[in-house]
Chains A and B, each alone.
Chain A
């Protein structure tokens, strides 16, 4: 339907979209702006804030108080690590459910999802005790395991929906061509599902990165990710807007940048089988 959308209509849409987009983005933008102001300027009225001089003092302050690099590395290791492990477990499971579906497949999938509805606070003490006994408190391994388990259902579901879009004939062809199951998954299925796997990975890195309950409860310092870093600024005393902004910016910047760079990939994959 490529008829002339009148120029005015296009302008209206442009203005509306930009306005709404800007409003949605404003909280983040404002945080970034405040992080470059002094504490005194940061609590002034918006116009005064904008005209105040810029400074990176808050970043320096935050940097001197916290081991940002350490938290950052922990976040990366835990979120990426848990995603990769989840993928390794989920790919075969999703393969089986997509290409060898049984009567129970759907129920199984739904059961898996329902494990995500378990409220974390309810099981904290048991998990804490278990972690203590296995020496997993404040270890990256421990947290990675938890993140893996939390995200596994979503990973399986997403992969399952991608795999179902792959014609089973292709897998049969590879079987006729003499591929073993391992080769079938390794050389044919996985590469074909790369876009889906990539967006699954992204979504799960984001979810793991932002997870703020288990990360806070089960780590102290050595394995503490950025959620812990931000927790120490969450209600500090006195004038604190600039420092809080700087810390917030530092905590969300990596994932925001990753998200922006890969948004096409992410958006393409975010359908959960909802688009036929």
Chain B
């Protein structure tokens, strides 16, 4: 008999349609439409899908941690022979944290911010082994230190009196895992446990999970959007889409013989080679190869740069209460040019100054030193922001948002504006009806399309793309990148592409500038930088991005 046996799991939520009036419309919306899942002792099963696929909801339903209004039905939902659907609240309390535990995605918010680590870790003991531990503080502490050490925390005694915010992300997640493993559960549900962590830490957490599985024969249900992670950890994989299992099988089956298009897309995203985006990569690389004739960084010596940043230094000044000034230098002595028709990548981690530069280029931030030269007749660049929801006015309809730049610019009749708006919508592959919607009524990809339309409606020569796809699901990323490439080609624009993601940069850029702590670490054509990195920081960046993927492939 499997440890966990679920057949035909359906989950529905109550939806309130707010009429802003004297009554509400209540209805039900099913988000999980009949999932089968079974898990043996000591087995690791992966649940993969993008946001909205129902993977988290399904996993939470196993512990009945969903909100009150969720309606869970299943033909069978058994854990070790116990019918989970008929458990009383008291029975649940003995089950949770003792026999079934859970690790969540965001350790910062999942830990109580105002309780010490010790308090939070020892709670499991007090709840499930009260007789042994209640009046024995020493024993309790001993056990807490033991689990913390087991979770790979090197000096657990130092952590006891600390609070979650004082730990690093990786440490927090280890604490979470220690809490979950406190009572050696038979089943551990890990809901995107590594998503909020950097690549190196991800690795360690995966190892840790493997360790527990092997040592204690703990069955693990691993939930992730990242197929490569799942592939490396799990024995079996279930691919979820829109609340349904679209494909299931061993990891080999899923990786080498994916049956579904959707699985293939996920695979591609995981490998960093987006199928739909390949045309861009090629185009970029072609451009890069052409420019290889001129080893210095300019693709075309004779061309006049559209935009030129010379020896720019940008400082932030902050006044403290006592009148002293605190100066933070965000950008130091940075120079570069942007030429017509090229895609220039600006890459670096957060805090490297890339956002500061993009703000300065648009004129939103003054340069402390240095100068910014625009070619004659060139207007200030337009910008596409990372989060389309924040960059589009939430209180206005799409039509208004697209019309606004034209109104500001002036010189258009109402009819002309409407016509231009319709054209812009068409260009970004949206429908005219979208003009009458609000931003919140659109999907993430549609929003970013609107943002692009808004940036392009005035036909700018330069567009700054500030992490334009980071907030999007992988399948959507490709579509947006493709759209951007097509528009660039059609309108002959130049892009400054700001991103932290080396994969995306590699796919779209002609040239790359690597920023490190506000300074240019390295600059060159995409091919040069990626194949012959010189600066140690660039190498590290590449390793962090690439290594993961290489390892992923190795581990399959």
Q: Do A and B bind each other?
A: no
- Listed in ascending order, the chain B residues whose CB lies under 8 Å from chain A are none
